[in-house]
Structure 1
């Protein structure tokens, strides 16, 4: 059953995507939902709070997927590590490229920035745990698992996923390959581990 809170989030996201966050008003959301202002404010104190909740909901979906991955004893540490990064692909998660395109539009920079900050905050401890377990199995070799986890996620959101990075596929692949090389060095990965990393991320 879809709750009223989820209805507000779903409708707001569609309006944000159609009109942009700044151009969407609370009145627009109320009109689309045909609800009273008090009903909306019972759940959310502001439009910014709605935006935060949309981001949090998406990232919670990511976390649920990763938690299933972490508890799957049939997977090796390498598979869990690769699966972690596959799980944070919002296009695969939502099945909606428009959402990802929305995040990447210049006028939605605040939305993008907030989502990146929350992603780093929520996922750094999980990635640190995967790295620590990988160290026990000999997959990784780093004295700084927590810091390395954060650096990798900062690299993904700030370097690889930067709005200023080149859009051309060849340039993006080069940028990604340089990131993967340096991430693998931070983790103390073998060449075969780096090759597996590349297969997951680089376009064919």
Structure 2
């Protein structure tokens, strides 16, 4: 008896198979035929949902972003956590490479031929992240931890800066240059949000390093 599945279920099965193959043998080495075999579905089913392997990758990136944002929203809404802890945990949830090593999806986004895809991802995050963090910053203002008349605009500037400096060309920096930028980032976070010195030191954990802010 033929099993008929919901279209979204089929689509996610294809994406799951593709992601597994991309992680195992890489994007370039993966073929549509390999995805079909891995997912155990008909060729027509794949092409019903996706036009090409690049289209599959685009969908994977979109799903990846939505999962990160969904997890971040859940943490951001947990008002039982102290403001700074909630802020750091929310930011960590948005980090797609939590183990430090770039995922296949991250690697593909940084390839020159995927510049448009990378740009779309940046725009998605720039629009989605400030609203998620806004409630935390507002709570911090109420508690007297932050002092800024422009919380939302400040968040937009911070997200844009992170996307540019720490995402787009961090790999081109020496360790010394990267540490210097992390220290400068924390220094400016305190001033943008009107926070006490040292308030944002824990942000260093987001970069998988000890920036030595007290040195």
TM-score after normalising by structure 1: 0.78
* CA–CA separation in structure 2 for the residues paired with 1:90 and 1:153: 15
What is the CA-CA distance between 1:50 and the residue it aligns to? 2.8
Matched, 1:146 2:152: yes
What is the CA-CA distance between 1:201 and the residue it aligns to? 4.2
Q: What SS does the aligned partner of 1:156 have?
A: helix
CA contact (8 A) 1:26 1:47 kept: yes
Matches within 5 A, 1:1-204: 3-14=9-20, 18-20=26-28, 26=32, 29-30=35-36, 33=39, 35-44=41-50, 47=53, 49-92=55-98, 97-99=102-104, 100-163=106-169, 166-198=172-204, 201=207, 203-204=209-210
Unaligned runs of 5+ in 1: none
CA contact (8 A) 1:104 1:112 kept: yes
Structure of larger gyration radius? 2
* CA–CA separation in structure 2 for the residues paired with 1:24 and 1:5: 18
Equivalent residue pairs, number: 201
Report the counterpart of residue 213 of structure 2 in structure 1. Answer: none
* CA–CA separation in structure 2 for the residues paired with 1:154 and 1:16: 29
Spell out, residue by residue over 1:103-128, the C-alpha distance to the aligned partner (whole angstroms, 9 max, x if none).
44445434433322222222221122
* CA–CA separation in structure 1 for the residues paired with 2:75 and 2:46: 36
What is the CA-CA distance between 1:157 and the residue it aligns to? 0.8
* CA–CA separation in structure 2 for the residues paired with 1:32 and 1:96: 25
CA contact (8 A) 1:177 1:202 kept: no
* CA–CA separation in structure 2 for the residues paired with 1:183 and 1:53: 33
What is the CA-CA distance between 1:11 and the residue it aligns to? 3.1
TM-score after normalising by structure 2: 0.75
* CA–CA separation in structure 1 for the residues paired with 2:118 and 2:51: 21
CA contact (8 A) 1:66 1:87 kept: yes
More helix by share: 1
Unaligned runs of 5+ in 2: 211-215
